[in-house]
Amino acid sequence: MLKRPLKLFSLIGSVFVFLTVAACEQKEPDLGKEVLIRVSDRVMTVLDFNSAFEIAKIAYDDNIKENPEDRINAQIRLLNELTVEMILLERAEELAITVSEAELEKAVSAIKSDYPEGEFEKTLLEFAVSYEAWENRLRNRLIIDKVIEEELNTRITITPEDISEFYQKNYQDREDNTESAQESEDINEAIVKQLRRIKAEESYNSWIDELRGKYEIEINRDQWERLTGSLRIEENDSSQKDISQKN
């Protein structure tokens, strides 16, 4: 079902995976916009969601337009992703986590470096995303990365026993068992990185569930049904409430 090459996602991944978190910067919606998601006092409108979904569709085959079930599944997936992002932005605000202009510029340069001269801007135009909007969204992506680093990765503990067990399972049977001291150090460093990533992935869901319990999360079911033609949301947390009567 996914169709675009990975290289494209060095740009698009920064655009639509966290695309509409820029809308989360608004603490109240503009007049005339129905609220679809609310996390505490942070809101996302139906218009914001539709804009995100239009760009998200580039990651899928064309039959998503023809298959209602595939379309609904993609919308639900995006709804859940954006809800989590709003939660993480709320947490960032609590922790006073920000991104400096220097950090933002460094990230922008790294992404642009993957593209020939002028192609970066052409790609933004193709998906009808302004440079300013993309940069603001990238800033939010970087903020979220910092939250994950601060809250999740620093909780991870890697013991010598963990390293030893991982080495025995993944390196012990290599043909060349005469590594130099430098090679051994490199292996240990690689093992620590892999273990950190594995443990972070294992802890992510439970960590997000903890954060869900901190905030009031509301979905406007009336607007969701109008948007998708379905009431199915596949909520992961009972704290999500229906706000259809509030808007």
Confirm whether pTM is higher than 0.75: no
Q: What is the pLDDT of residues 40-61, one digit of tens each?
A: 989 999 988 988 887 677 667 6
Pairing state of beta strands 240-242 and 42-45? unpaired
pLDDT for residue 54: 77
Q: In sequence order, which residues have a C-beta less than 8 Å from that of residue 19 and are 6 or more positions away?
A: 51, 52, 55, 56, 137
Q: In sequence order, which residues have a C-beta less than 8 Å from that of residue 105 and are 6 or more positions away?
A: none
Of residues 31 and 214, which shows the higher confidence score? 214
Q: Which domains does the chain have, with CATH numbers?
A: 6-151+216-242 (1.10.4030.10), 154-214 (no CATH)
Which of 100, 195, 88 has its CA nearest to residue 144? 88
- 8 A C-beta contact, residue 36 and residue 221: no
